[in-house]
Homo-oligomer: A and B are copies of this chain.
């Protein structure tokens, strides 16, 4: 089976993607996470927790690479990294969420991850989905195609390189349902998947339930018809 290296943020999209790929029978030699000074550093803890859980449960040896990318130093205007810019509230897919854009973020992540994937003789996978397209230009289908071509053009022996984006045309509800199916196929309780994910953009003890990311996550679970196992602030 094909090798695939995955970008795992610790959010519900990429975590679902990992379980989905394993349920599909892919071989996952390594996953990669980025510490980029995000406020929601709990994401990273969730990513680590997920890899440990899967390795232990499925007797796998997935390597977890965590790379530091100091966006705060590079991108001083994004609410995700700058301490003096507030995280906007309201729905995720609205204009004010533009404040959370970090320039070239996915290009940086995909570029770095491609070095690992090429070294591991693997393709890449990333959990971008339809809900991301409006505000994040670097989550769009045409951008994913463009980056794939760029990586192939820039490397020797990368003719078979590809970026898998199975969630590109589905929304977060579809992702939750995909996670439920993958859990069934792997014989895991779905609660064990999503209890180890973090979505809130604010770096508080419990998820705020009010930022764009939380609103979208809560809607997704409600529509998918099963409860979100993480705790929200009252």
Contact = CB atoms under 8 A, between A and B. Distances in A.
Interface of A: 65, 67-71, 73-77, 98, 101-108, 111-112, 114-116, 118-119, 137-138, 142-143, 146-147, 149-151, 153-156, 158
17 contacts: A67-B70, A68-B68, A69-B112, A71-B115, A74-B112, A75-B119, A76-B119, A77-B119, A104-B111, A104-B118, A104-B151, A105-B115, A107-B154, A108-B115, A137-B155, A146-B146, A146-B154
Contacts of A98: 156
Count the copies.
2
Nearest to A63: B73
A111 B77 CA distance: 17
Contacts of A65: 73-74
A117 to B, nearest CB: 8
A81 to B, nearest CB: 10
A94 to B, nearest CB: 15
B107 A151 contact: yes
A153 B142 contact: yes
A70 B114 CA distance: 13
A119 B155 contact: no
A105 to B, nearest CB: 8
A114 to B, nearest CB: 5
A147 B107 CA distance: 10
